Every structure is written in structure tokens, then in C-alpha cells.
Structure 1
Amino acid sequence: MAVQLFAAIDVGSFELELGIYEISGKNGVRRVDHIRHMIALGKETYSEGKISYDLVEEMCQVLEDFVKTMNGYKVKGYRAYATSAMREAKNNQIILDQIRVRTGLKVRIISNSEQRFISYKAIASKAAEFNKIIQKGTAIVDVGFGSAQISLFDKDALVTTQNLSLGSLRIRELLARIPASAKAHREQIEELVDNELFTFRKMYLKDREITNLIGIGENILYMMRQMQSKPVGDKVEASVLNTFYEKFNKLTLDQVEERFGVNAEYASLLMPTVMVYKRILELTGAQMFWIPGIRLCDGIAAEYADDTRLVRFTHSFENDILAASRNMAKRYKCHASHSQVLEEYALGIFDCMRKYHGLGGRERLLLQISAILHSCGKFISMRNSNECSYNIIMSTEIIGLSHLEREIIANVVRYNIRDFDYDKVQLEGTYQEGTVELDQKGMTILIAKLTAILRLANSMDRSHRGKLADCRMSIREGELVITTGYEGDIALEAMSFEQKADFFEEIYGIRPVLRQKRRI
């Protein structure tokens, strides 16, 4: 199979990175070149709320050089992603336009959950080691410049992922406003970290045993080089990290610069990083730390290889998204058996209507998650559950989903039990449906299509007793015929089904019909 050259660009909080990769079915994803340029975009975003023109000018110049390098390699494809610094900057849309005009690059701002999921794909590309480690309780820890992410695995299943405001640059900028000695600042860092981790421990680590930590990100690579003489990618015992911390804690800023070979700007970020990893290690009680040596650019390349089917991954990432959604439903006491039946009905209708809705696998996944989470708002209010469900979904990260995809799911769930208002569905950004980019009207129609299916599927289990579990679906003469052999009373289902049929027909032009076969 031919080798394809691909470029990945990371517009990060503290640096710009370019990775050039060879991708092939035989050898997988292999990095052939890597360029970094330090630029503290996050410093201004986290303190001022926007990025200055001087930094935009520097950024565009560096990205122009990246484009020249990409042209020199004759790459066939590229993806350029921006993370938290750009995401939180008030003037980010102006900056993206400047980059497009100056360099020709189309940079996409990705959500935090997308960013972490991309890095997670890079870890999973090391299939043998990754699959072995996550058989036991495992946490993936990514301490970045803007935030830290902790993702918990248990027996190959993703339990939860949570984002904490513990990025090294964010912590440093916060403490810069407090005049204090270096020792006092270290104590303040510890207080900040412990405050964030206290809630995480109480909610997610109760009765959960964590044996392994997987550390990713640029900061952990610097730490690894100093912790032991073995090459990056090896495992580190918890005792080694503890010893390293004790030694690091005694170093001055100048000594950190000299020992790590970094400038003063970067050296000042290492202390918050070391502190966060140290406290997470103590909190979880993990005995082993695996540092696979990957960056976000590696994840972008792995994502591209997976999306284009250039490389086949053995790990199912879609199952991770579903596992995270089901754990979220469990947290909010959703009716598990009803949700499972609803999933089956909704996916059955989706598959039967494939010729008429024109949607793909990604939209099928969004529908499935909508079915899983459709009643989570009842945890807060039985009477106003749809609005509460909307707010819960919009406030909760689901790893692997973009902010816009969460917004689509939240709206589908909201309109499941209220009149659909075409004029009031408002979403931010544009959605990519296959090769087509949907505008506001297109996304409204997408939400309407998924809502019509979810409503109809929900009506089929009105009694929450799975009476239509044996049903068959087919399109006949302009009707979606759903036939069941259930011999008992389905009056509730039939009434609810008829109520939801009008909206379904309005969207698809296909009339749903429920038929009950009775044995003689």
C-alpha cells in the first residue's frame, strides 16, 4: 500500500507545532519531522481575555514557515487545530480569518473533549501496550498549559473523563497576581490542586482502584527525561516520581533552567506541572506511570489515519463515547432498561429510513446518545425534564464529541417532548455532515430528522415494558410499517405512536403505521 505524507499543526496555549507523518497500512503512523515554536498565546488569553496583534503577527509568520515546510514535503493532506488559548480568546474569529488570509491555512478550534480524545487516539495507536494496561484500573492524565484532563478506565471501558482548571500556564498566571516567595507559591499551588482534586476524588474515585497512570503531553516528556535514564516511552514506578519531586522541589528557577535546558518562561511552568502529577499519583494510589511519549500532533495524525481508513485500529473509539454516555446516564439515574429498548427502536428506524434521511454513521451515533440521555433531566425535575436534560448535556463533556455535536444532542432531547420550533433552534458554528458543511438551517433540519426518530421510538415504549421488542420494520407504499406479534395490550403505545406520527410524516413524507399481529 502507498505511503501518504500528512501534516498536523497544533496551535497551542504555549507553542505552535508542526508534525510531518508517513501513514501507511503496513507501518501505521510514523513521524518524520517535528518543528516547535514557543509563543505564549495563553498568557494573554488567561489574563486579558484576548490575543494581541503582536502575537497574531508572530503566529502568522511561523505558520507561513510551516506551510513552506509542508510544501517542501509535498504533503497530501493536513489538519490544523487550535486549543484552549484560542478557544477562550474573545477575538478568536478575527484571528482565524487573519491566519486564513495570510497563510491559506484553515485552522479549526476544537473543544476540550475533542482535544483529549485526539490525544487518546494516539495512545491507542500503540495497541498492544495500551490494551494490556487498561485491563486494570487506569487513569489517563494530561496536564496541559490551559487545563488538566483525567480519564478513568476500568476493564477496557471508559468510565468518565473530567476537565480541571489545573493547566500549568493558567496556575502560573493566577499566582503571578499574588506577591509571595517561591516557597509560598509552591504551597499555594498545592492548595489549588488539592481543592480541585477533592471534588474529583469524592465523585469519581469512591470504591475505584487505580493501578496505572498514563501521562501524556509535552510537559511530562521533560519530566521523564530527568526522572530516569531510560528512553521516553518506558514505565516509571511511583517511587521514582516521588523521589524526583523531592529533588525538584529544592531547585531554584535558574537551576531548573540549567538542568532541563529550557528558558525561564518554560521553567516557571514546570513546578505547577510536577505538583499536579504528584498529587494525582497520591490521590489515586497508582503504582506505575506509563509515558508513551505522544503529543497532540501525533493524535491529529492518528485521527486522520483512522478517519481515512489508512490504518485500522483494533480499539473501538465509538464504544468509548457510548460508554461515557452510559456512565453519564447512570449518574443521573436514567431508566436503564427503557433506554436500552429505546436505543434499539431508534437505531432500527434510522437504519430502515436510511434511503430517506441521507444521514451517516456519525449522525447515527448522535441519535444513539440522544436515546441514552433523553431522560437524564428527571434527576432534577420530573415536570421540566426536557429543559433540565438540555442543560445537563450542555454542561457535561462527553469525550470524543465536539461542542456542536453535544448541542445537537441536547436539542434533540429537548424537543423530544415539546413542540418543535424551527425558528428557535440556535447553534454555534457549522456542522460537517459527510463532505457537506451544514449552515444554521441545515443543522435545524438535522435536529428535526433525529428528533422525529427519537419521538417515534419513545412512543413505542410508552409503558416502559418493552412490549414491541419483537417488532419488524419496513417501508411499504409510502409508509413505515412497524409490525409486532405482542399479544397483550399495547393501547398506550398505539395512542402515543399516533400522536408522534404527524411530525415524523412532516419531516420525511413517510407515514409511520403500527400493526399488531394476533394469533388465531
Structure 2
Amino acid sequence: MAANPNEVVKDYINSKFEYLRPEFNQNKDEVNILLQDPFLFNNLLQNKGSDTFENLDTAGFNAFSADYLNAPDQFISQHLNIDTRLVKRVVPDILMIQKLLKFSKAKHLTVTTADVIEGLSTFHSYLAKNETQKLNSVILTSAENMANRYVTDANHRHTTVTFALHLFDQLKKLHRLDDRCRLLLQIAATVDDIGAFINAHGHYRHSAYILKANPLIGLSDEENSIIAAISRYHSSETPEDFIQESQLPYTYQLIVAKLSAMLRLADALDDSRKQKIKKISVSLKSNYLLITALSSHNLALEKWAFQQKAALFEEVFGIKVILKQRKADK
């Protein structure tokens, strides 16, 4: 009785991989597998750039493999879009990858058509981006915890953050700030009212004091100083010359001024702390900014606060700001 050729190949690969088992058993770190220029995955990458990465988890790879381990050569050639001369390599390659996944206990693998140096460089950039996102999440959680510890109004806080980030995203051509500044604005909008725990009167001063005494882990000293300055400057009661007296370098002063200007508008849109405005739309004209608030409520207080707090935005960006209300269904 003829032996199953796949079983023969599998046994051969097992024998050659066995010496690697002790090495993997000693490793306690998470393993990431990068497959460079694998012809098996042409269909996944054929319409993408040379530095494109495609991620598969272990279950996804095994499901992919099951279709080809016992398939006819013609089926493999057509479905993998490979030359018939390469078909004989499919089963050994699949079995080797399966064995590597099993030994390494890797949860996923990444494939790319990039060359080795470019592939490793891009892959490390990909990992670094993920680590940055995780760190940002930790920083934001710390800011939320601080805001909760000082008993700020969660609904007002979340509304202010939403409006502030919407303004930032829609006004990129105007402020020309990067994503890191967006994160700083989000943090500042989260913690700007913590000083009210000490005293509601002049709470912006107390917010800045608390933030200076309790810097957020994950931010640089300069970024913590920016957060404290924005929190102090977010109120229309703050002296107009505060930024110049803050001893921050001019570049940071400009960031503080721009982010504070946007935060003031966002804060004013919920001045009553009643979330009267469902959402806002932003339209940047040649010489003015139009903000349309969707609300069915009386916005007299919000409009008054907006008028007071818009002065800084108009001074920093040199354009008029107009708030318009559009009635919403109750």
C-alpha cells in the first residue's frame, strides 16, 4: 500500500524541526512570525504595495491550509495564482509554517512582499505604532481616573472632549497641529475642571496646580506643562497675558494658545452642563468659522458663554467665529 506523500513530507519536516524544540521551550517571550515574500499568499498581496503587511491568526492560517494540503495541482495553481512549477512547494511550505507556529506558540503571523531589510523595518514600525496606541490608551485612562478622583462631571467632560476633538479634526488646515497635539487636547479636556474640587471660583488656577503636582505618566515634562497651561487657560477668566508669563518656550506657547482656543469653544457649548447640544458641524469659510449646533433647547447660556470664549480663538487664528443653532427633533 502506497504511503500518503503528505505524511511522508510531514514526518521528514518533523525530524528536521525537532532540534528546535528546546530553543522554543526556553523562550518565554511572545513570538512574532514574519514571512517575507511568501508565494503562498499572492492572492492576499497581489493588489497591494511592496511594503504591505497582511496579518493572519493561527486559526486563520490553519483554515487557509486545509483547502490545499490534499488538493489537486491544478486547483492549487489556480486558487493561489502561482506557476504550476511551484505547486510542489505548497504542501512542504504549509507544513513547515504549521510546525513553526506550533513550536513557537505564536498567535499570529504577518506576511509581506517587501525585501528582508525593508520588511523588518516596516514590521518594527508597525509594532511601534501598536505600542504607541497602547501607551496613549493608558495615558487617557490615567486622565479619566484623575478626573473621577476629583469628582468632575462625567457627562460634561465627555461632551467637551467630543466637541473639542471634532473641532480639532475639522480644522486641521487652520491649526496645522499633529496627532500628538490631538492627544494633548483630549487629555486637557478631560482634566481641565479638576480644580473645582478645591474651589469652583478660579478653578482653572487649582487645575493647573494639581496637574503640576501630579504629572501624568507617559507624557514628557514639556507635555505635562502644556496640559497644565491649557487647563489654566481654558477659562475666559484667565488673565490674557498668562501664556507669555508661563515660561514655556514660544513653540509650546503657540500650541497652548491654539489648543486652549479650541477647548474654550468646546467647553462653552455645554456651559449649562445639561448636554443640550446633540452634535455640531463645522464649516470653515474664507474669513470666518461657522459652527452649527443641533439642539431643540434654549441655548441662551451657551451662546453667551460662546461669545465670551470665542475671543481667544479669533485672536489666535485671526478669523471670526459664529455659532448658529439648528433645531433638532425632540
What TM-score do you get using the length of structure 1 for normalisation? Answer: 0.38
> 333, 337, 340: which one pairs with 2:151?
333
- Written as runs of structure 1 = structure 2, the 5 A alignment for 1:180-219 is none
Contact 1:305 1:311 in 2 (8 A): no
1:410, 1:480 → 2: CA distance?
A: 27
Q: Given the superposition, is the C-alpha separation of residues 317 and 519 from structure 1 closer, same or farther in structure 2, using an over 3 Å criterion? A: closer
Q: Given the superposition, is the C-alpha separation of residues 318 and 390 from structure 1 closer, same or farther in structure 2, using an over 3 Å criterion? A: same
Contact 1:480 1:510 in 2 (8 A): yes
- What's 1:200 paired with? none
Q: By how many angstroms is 1:397 displaced?
A: 3.1
1:409, 1:502 → 2: CA distance?
A: 21
Is the partner of 1:474 in helix, strand or coil?
Answer: strand
Contact 1:25 1:312 in 2 (8 A): no
1:382, 1:307 → 2: CA distance?
A: 47
> 184, 196, 207: which one pairs with 1:389?
207
Contact 1:478 1:510 in 2 (8 A): yes
> 488, 497, 500: which one pairs with 2:306?
497
- What's 1:166 paired with? none
Q: By how many angstroms is 1:325 displaced?
A: 0.6
- What's 1:366 paired with? 184
The CA deviation string for residues 355-409 of structure 1, in whole angstroms up to 9 with x for no partner, is 0111011000000110000110111122131111111111113121111111100
1:364, 1:494 → 2: CA distance?
A: 25
- What's 2:266 paired with? 457
Q: By how many angstroms is 1:484 displaced?
A: 2.2
2:284, 2:258 → 1: CA distance?
A: 17
Q: By how many angstroms is 1:474 displaced?
A: 1.8
Q: By how many angstroms is 1:306 displaced?
A: 9.3
Q: Does 1:324 align with 2:155?
A: no
Aligned length: 210
Q: Does 1:376 align with 2:194?
A: yes
The CA deviation string for residues 409-441 of structure 1, in whole angstroms up to 9 with x for no partner, is 0001111121331420213xxxxxxxxxxxx11
Q: Given the superposition, is the C-alpha separation of residues 384 and 500 from structure 1 closer, same or farther in structure 2, using an over 3 Å criterion? A: closer
- What's 2:105 paired with? none
Contact 2:278 2:294 in 1 (8 A): no
- What's 1:419 paired with? 239
Q: By how many angstroms is 1:305 displaced?
A: 8.6
Q: By how many angstroms is 1:469 displaced?
A: 2.2
1:363, 1:316 → 2: CA distance?
A: 17
> Counterpart of 1:313 in structure 2: which amino acid?
N
Contact 2:271 2:305 in 1 (8 A): yes
The gaps in structure 2 that reach 5 residues or longer are 1-31, 36-120
1:333, 1:365 → 2: CA distance?
A: 22
The gaps in structure 1 that reach 5 residues or longer are 1-23, 28-303, 428-439
Contact 1:25 1:311 in 2 (8 A): no
The CA deviation string for residues 270-320 of structure 1, in whole angstroms up to 9 with x for no partner, is xxxxxxxxxxxxxxxxxxxxxxxxxxxxxxxxxx99994465537722111
> 216, 224, 238: which one pairs with 1:398?
216
Which deviates more, 354-363 or 497-506? 497-506
Contact 1:346 1:454 in 2 (8 A): yes
Contact 2:167 2:282 in 1 (8 A): yes
The CA deviation string for residues 450-506 of structure 1, in whole angstroms up to 9 with x for no partner, is 110111111111101111222211212322211123122000000111112221011
Contact 1:370 1:412 in 2 (8 A): yes
> Counterpart of 1:420 in structure 2: which amino acid?
E
Q: Given the superposition, is the C-alpha separation of residues 306 and 513 from structure 1 closer, same or farther in structure 2, using an over 3 Å criterion? A: farther
1:480, 1:390 → 2: CA distance?
A: 29
- What's 1:105 paired with? none
Q: By how many angstroms is 1:25 displaced?
A: 8.7
- What's 1:5 paired with? none
Q: Given the superposition, is the C-alpha separation of residues 476 and 379 from structure 1 closer, same or farther in structure 2, using an over 3 Å criterion? A: same
- What's 1:517 paired with? 326
Is the partner of 2:180 in helix, strand or coil?
Answer: helix
- Written as runs of structure 1 = structure 2, the 5 A alignment for 1:18-417 is 26=34, 308-309=125-126, 311=128, 313=130, 316-417=134-235
* Higher share in strand: 1
The CA deviation string for residues 19-59 of structure 1, in whole angstroms up to 9 with x for no partner, is xxxxx9939xxxxxxxxxxxxxxxxxxxxxxxxxxxxxxxx
Q: By how many angstroms is 1:508 displaced?
A: 1.0
1:466, 1:367 → 2: CA distance?
A: 20
* Higher share in helix: 2
Q: CA RMSD in A?
A: 2.6
Q: Which has the larger radius of gyration?
A: 2
Q: By how many angstroms is 1:519 displaced?
A: 7.3
> 508, 513, 519: which one pairs with 2:317?
508
2:155, 2:250 → 1: CA distance?
A: 35
Is the partner of 1:313 in helix, strand or coil?
Answer: helix
Contact 2:287 2:319 in 1 (8 A): yes
The CA deviation string for residues 155-200 of structure 1, in whole angstroms up to 9 with x for no partner, is xxxxxxxxxxxxxxxxxxxxxxxxxxxxxxxxxxxxxxxxxxxxxx
Contact 2:188 2:230 in 1 (8 A): yes
Q: Which has the higher contact order (CA 8 A, sep 6+)?
A: 2
> 246, 252, 256: which one pairs with 1:447?
256
